[in-house]
Amino acid sequence: MMIFYVVTGLNSVLHGQDYKPLLDNTNEWHVTNCYFGCLTDVYFTDGDTLVEGNNYKVLDGFHYISRSFLLREEVSNQRVYLRKLSGNGIGQEYLLYDFSLQEGDSFEMFNPITPFPENAGNFVVDSIRLRLLEDGLAYRHYYFSPAPTNNVSDNTCVWVEGVGSLS
């Protein structure tokens, strides 16, 4: 009986935590890749813009994406969207993160900025765990694995609420 209460209590803690938004007035991400030596790229938001009635943050940083992507967040729905700008105007909007997902839910991973395949296929949320970050606060970590029907990717993925992807 005690195990049931502990599991139920943990579940309540995970779902009772306040959502930590990803986007703020200023945002900065450091992305390090170590293939043949390590290289760190810095991305940041630089200004706001309005597109089709939605407020976006302008993503800037690494030379090839400089000011060509927009981010917006629906805090009430716990979702983050990415929109690509091109020479032809404003491109399609993509759901980048959905932090309202629960264990067992599936998500179609698509990211036009990634060095991996843009459409990574369908993934399943294996688990959601609270982990402390350097600021001393607990953040939800979403652990994904490719769905059985995913023939595009065999990599796992980790999202961190309020931070983004670690994969």
pLDDT tens for each residue of the chain, 167 residues long: 444 333 434 444 445 579 999 999 889 988 888 888 998 888 899 999 999 999 999 998 875 567 778 999 999 999 999 998 877 778 889 999 999 999 999 999 988 877 667 899 999 999 999 999 999 999 999 999 999 999 999 999 999 999 999 87
The Cα–Cα gap between 35 and 161 comes to: 27
**Measured on CA atoms in the order 100, 104, 107, 109, is the torsion positive or negative?**
positive
Domain ranges for the chain, please list them.
Answer: 2-165
pLDDT at 3: 45
Q: What is the CA radius of gyration of the chain?
A: 17
Q: Beta-carbon neighbour count of residue 111 at 10 Å?
A: 16
Global pTM reads: 0.84
Instruction: From residue 38, give the alpha-carbon distance in Å to each of 34, 35, 41, 66, 102.
Output: 4, 7, 10, 21, 34
Strand ranges in the chain using DSSP code E only, listed in sequence order:
28-34, 38-51, 54-60, 69-74, 79-86, 89-98, 106-110, 119-132, 138-146, 157-160, 164-165
**What are 113-133's pLDDT values in tens digits?**
776 678 999 999 999 999 999
pLDDT single digits (tens) 84-94: 887 777 888 99
Coil, strand, or helix at residue 98? strand
Do 44 and 62 touch, CB atoms closer than 8 A?
no
